[in-house]
Amino acid sequence: MKKLVSAALAASMLTGVAWADSVKVGFVTTLTTPAAVIGNDMKNAVDLAVEHMGGKMGNLDLELIYGDDGFAPDTGKQATDKLVKQDDVDFVAGYIWSHVLLASRKSALDAGKFLISANAGPSPVAGKLCHENFFSTSWQNDQTPMAMGEVLNQNGVKSIYLMAPNYAAGKNMVSGVERTFKGEIKGKDLTKWGADAQLDFSAELAKAKASGAEAIWVFYPGAAAGAFIKQYHQAGLKDVMPLYTSFTVDAISLPKLQAANFESVLGSRITQQWDPSLDNAANKKFVSDFKAKYGAYPSFYAAQSYDAMMLIKSAVEAVGGNMDDKDGIRAALKAANYDSVRGKYSYGNNNMPIQNFYLREVVADADGNWTTKVVATVYENHQDPYAAECALK
Amino acid sequence: MGHLDYALLFIQTLNGLQLGLLLFLVASGLTLVFGILDFVNLAHGSLYMLGAFVCASLTFLVGNFLIAILLALPITALIGYGVERTIARALYTRDHLDQVLGTFGLILVLDTLAHLIWGPAGIAIPLPAWLDGQIELLPGVVIPVFRVLIIVIGLLTALGLMWLVNFTRLGMLIRAGASNRTMVAALGIDIQTLFALVFALGATLAGLAGMLVAPITEASIGMGNNVIITAFVVIIVGGIGSMKGAFVGAMLIGLIDTLGRSFIDDAFKLFMEAEAAESAGPAVSAMLIYIIMAGVLAFRPQGLFPPKVR
């Protein structure tokens, strides 16, 4: 009996061998821990992308394998190792968190795989650690807060208090704002981050208020977003210290904030390279199909993940499904010749997008659901500040 | 740092007090269970989480947060009783390591159960408008009303526990059990019921803490796993099995952690470069409570207020 079972298993594994008519994509995101809300949004977008492309990239069948990074660098690296070594994927994509990406990138790149970041953009991967097989469909961490600094200057804000979590991306975000903001930084707080992140900001909010800063800027992705906004609202700071945020208020946190009636968030301002209201055909289709399928607006994480899948598809189609033509795939990825939901963009020497950044405001849509809309364009064709540090031409 | 801002110091002290009281609610249950039942319950944090989730669901069902708390408390007590009967009772006679393994497994089961029932996203609890505002206690000292509520409920619970432990028969049995469990059993007291009651009480206290914290942060999966570590630090510092120790330990840890986060980077700036202070400050304030625990273990390993043991 045992021999029969082993033989059957061996036979089934033989049929699972990757023939030349399928392309394998590994997608690493956070599927456990409270941060899984982001991972699920990305997964929804990727599933929608697979549906839109009919499960095929060109004439190849798409085999999609998800990996869970558990919001920890070592788990993310293990997930990447499995995709690269055991599943032998052609493309590795995903990565919400900068510290997970930094820990995992070597596993994918050293094995000659193409690595597409659909979110994380720590400065090393755009600068000294840039690599010809690494591409981003998001941004470099400093860019979005740099746009925010510019907005603060335009709004005549003279002093600000900064708060962010104490990890790679938090520090990038803070340095991004500091790069462009011309006023005085009254104080800075980097709070404890990780699986047991600090979620009670009473001490820091008291410090912020006491500092006398005109406004407060924060970067608190994931679960911390709701917690911060709640406490900001309960501290009654809306009229005392207007709130500017980066990657804190998004389509994931807004429904929860609306359900709990935290009106302080309406009218707050965000900068991003994408918004659900952007007027191009690809975005309209993406947003309406996402809403129809999942009952909520997609977040920027979702938009970037959708773009990552479409970018990979464009490269596979450009080489006619010949996965051995690495140079051809690389050139096709670099050309970014696909309909991105943010509109047309190009890649710089470090394979980071050169793109527009918009000022968005939190509003209620025609159905009364809280979402965002574009108010102005802050930067046109903006390139990240680390491109010069990259050795690639 | 220029002149000492007394209003800020007062506010941060109140914040530390509030954190301390929340820690006390969790640690008091833990110290009772560890001290009297000699049972290491890692899943205590999961009871904190379940209390938060049950209260969240009830708030949406009933429409009023305070009524939801009153309804959720007995439910949490029942859940605690259920855990005691099925899991804890089987492990009392076993080694501490077996209890750690068992309750760790329970954490995973309860986390997944919460995931199945409430989904992966956290639940934000809406508060009535009068709890969402601020109150000016003294000129220049403005605090969110809800935090004052936490302090009030925390202090009332602490007083209630002090009365229970020191002035009732049940409290006498609890103190006796903490000192010498075997003797209590030998004197003919129904240990089974006593243990079940203590466990359920501990679960209710943890659940109450979860219910009070959820409107500030949110009810989310795994929220108990972080607080349980701090709770263990508190009871080690305060003395295992001692309610007074849990209270003093919790206040100490809460105040030091909050005041550390508030003022350490400014203190460091007095003798360090601003950039170094900004990196070192958060790192050191995160480590402070463990440094204190290490100190207590080194110089007074039985804790600050250990129960008198014969």
In a domain, B281, yes or no: no
In a domain, B246, yes or no: no
pLDDT of residue A144: 92
Calpha distance B218→B126 (Å, rounded):
10
Asked if B149 contacts B211 with a C-beta cutoff of 8 angstroms, the reply is no
Using a CB-CB distance cutoff of 8 angstroms, which residues of chain A are in contact with residue B16?
A: 203
Cβ–Cβ below 8 Å for A256 and B142? no
> Which of B116, B216, B264 best tests the A interface by mutation, with the highest count of A CBs <10 A?
B216
In which domain, by residue range, is B174 found?
A: 8-221
B7 touches chain A (CB under 8 A): yes
For B146, nearest residue in chain A (alpha carbons): A234
**Residue A167 has what DSSP assignment?**
S
Average pLDDT, chain B: 88
Q: Which long-range contacts (CB under 8 A, 24 or more apart) does B293-296 make?
A: B293/B233, B293/B236, B293/B237, B296/B236, B296/B237
B134 touches chain A (CB under 8 A): yes
pLDDT of residue A97: 94
Using a CB-CB distance cutoff of 8 angstroms, which residues of chain B are in contact with residue A189?
A: 265, 282
Burial of A219 (0-12, 13-18, 19+ CB in 10 A): buried
For chain A, which ranges sit under pLDDT 70? Answer: 1, 4-20, 195
pLDDT of residue B277: 78
Burial of A247 (0-12, 13-18, 19+ CB in 10 A): buried
In a domain, B271, yes or no: no
Quickly tell me which residue has 């506010």 as its tokens. Answer: B11
Asked if B204 contacts B81 with a C-beta cutoff of 8 angstroms, the reply is no
**Chains A and B: how many Cβ contacts under 8 Å?**
115
> Which of A31, A163, A166, A207 best tests the B interface by mutation, with the highest count of B CBs <10 A?
A207
pLDDT of residue B134: 86
Residue A352, number of CB atoms within 10 A of its CB: 27
Asked if A245 contacts A362 with a C-beta cutoff of 8 angstroms, the reply is no
For B257, nearest residue in chain A (alpha carbons): A203
Calpha distance B282→A335 (Å, rounded):
43
Calpha distance A203→B281 (Å, rounded):
14
SS3 A197: coil
In a domain, B39, yes or no: yes
Calpha distance B36→A319 (Å, rounded):
71
Of A189, A207, A227, Cβ closest to residue B218: A227
Of B120, B124, B225, Cβ closest to residue A196: B225
Chain centre to alpha carbon of residue B70: 19
Cβ–Cβ below 8 Å for A223 and B218? yes
At residue B2, does pLDDT exceed 70?
no
Write down the ipTM of this complex: 0.79
Rounded CA Rg of chain B: 20
In a domain, B206, yes or no: yes
CA distances from A26 to A59, A89, A348, A382, A390 (A): 19, 6, 25, 29, 26
Asked if A41 contacts A96 with a C-beta cutoff of 8 angstroms, the reply is no
B273 touches chain A (CB under 8 A): no
Confidence of residue B76 (pLDDT cuts 50, 70, 90): very high
Question: A-contacting residues of B 278-307, CB under 8 Å?
Answer: 278-279, 282-283, 286
Residue (of A113, A102, A106, A131) closest to A26 by Cα position: A113
A360: left (phi over 0), alpha (psi -120 to 50) or beta: beta
Cβ–Cβ below 8 Å for A230 and B126? no
Tens of pLDDT, residues A3-13? 766 666 665 55
Cβ–Cβ below 8 Å for B122 and A236? no
Our CA-based measurement puts residue A167 at a distance from the nearest CA of chain B, in whole angstroms, of: 11
Hey, which bits of chain B come out as E strands?
Answer: 134-138, 141-144
pLDDT of residue A26: 96
Cβ–Cβ below 8 Å for A196 and B132? no
User: Taking residues B73-93, what's their average pLDDT?
Assistant: 92
Asked if A264 contacts A59 with a C-beta cutoff of 8 angstroms, the reply is no
Our CA-based measurement puts residue A213 at a distance from the nearest CA of chain B, in whole angstroms, of: 15
How much is the pTM?
0.80
Calpha distance A370→A268 (Å, rounded):
12
For A211, nearest residue in chain B (alpha carbons): B8
Using a CB-CB distance cutoff of 8 angstroms, which residues of chain A are in contact with residue B261?
A: 191, 203-204
- Domains of chain A and CATH, by start: 2-139+279-354 (3.40.50.2300), 143-272 (3.40.50.2300)
Number of domains in chain B: 1
B262 touches chain A (CB under 8 A): yes
Chain centre to alpha carbon of residue B242: 14
Cβ–Cβ below 8 Å for A203 and B134? no
B222 touches chain A (CB under 8 A): yes
In a domain, B285, yes or no: no
Calpha distance B146→A155 (Å, rounded):
33
Tens of pLDDT, residues B181-227? 788 888 888 888 888 999 999 999 999 999 999 988 888 888 888 88
Residue (of A308, A357, A389) closest to A145 by Cα position: A357
